[in-house]
Each structure stands twice: as structure tokens, then as C-alpha cells.
Amino acid sequence: MIAPVPTKMGVFTANYSENGLCRLRFPQGKKMPIGTTLSKRQQSWHSKTQRTVQAILIGRVPRALPPLDFSNDTDFRRRVWEMLLTIPAGTVWTYGELAWSINQPRAARAVGGACGANPIPLFIPCHRVVGANGTLTGFSGGMKWKIFLLVAEGIELPLR
């Protein structure tokens, strides 16, 4: 089910399965996405999603996330995304550091691929991952969003 998340910065689009939030897209222009009817449980998740989006956009760490559904993804991607959740706001890791943290020290490129495939990049903070030399690498929401989120968390740019 799809539901809009309106903000001052545009309308995010949330997709829910029967198990939780499975995708959150950044605003795509001015067009309002067409919402669908959410179950009572999904409505509860959507309220939490809306509060979480608003908190992140003003640089606050959300108290709690709605249930996240990664059931259609690979074990490797899920491990990367779970580790991303442990990176504290206001800090950055490199792809290599993230690969080491999941005991896959030679998998920095694969970690980058998992970050690029992240279906909920606003909540699963792949914006906190940078290149080995501190360069700001790609972000599925676009580089403007990556910079915005890093600055909102108090990270001074450029990094090095």
C-alpha cells in the first residue's frame, strides 16, 4: 500500500507491506502521489513514519522507527542495512569500515551496492557512508539530500 508523507521539503512516498514499511521514496517534483487505503495497522505505522520523517528533516534522532520489512532482500543486504542502523547520527563511516564491521573486509564495493539498493535511505542512514578518502559518494536520494542530511546531523563539510 502506498501513502504520501507531506513535508515542507516535498512529499515523500511510503510503501507498506503486511509486515511493515518496505520503501520510502524521496520527493519527486510537485506531484502528489496517489494514496491507497491502509489497514488499521498500516495507519499506525504510517503515523510513526510521518513523525520519523519530520524528526530527521530537522536533524533530530527519531525515538523509534516503524517496523521495517526487508523480507524480499538478500541476507547480505539486510546485514549491511542493520549495521547502518548502528552508525550514530553525526558520524560517518567509509564503505571499507562498514565492510569490516560485517566481517566482510574485502566487500567494500558490495557494501556500496547494498547502500545503493537501500529501499529506505532516509531511515537506514546510508548517507553516513563515504568514500575511503572522505569523498561524498552517491546517494539514492541525490547528492543534495545527502549533503542536507549530513549537515542536519551536524557534520561539517568538506570532510577532509
Let me know: does 41 contact 57? Beta carbons within 8 Å: no
Q: Cell for 72?
A: 524480499
Sign, CA torsion 62/118/89/146? negative
Catalytic-residue membership of 126? yes
Tell me which of 98, 126, 129, 150 is the catalytic residue. 126
**If you ran DSSP here, which 8-state letter would residue 31 be given?**
P
Cis (ω within 30 of 0) for the bond into 105?
no
Catalytic site residues?
126
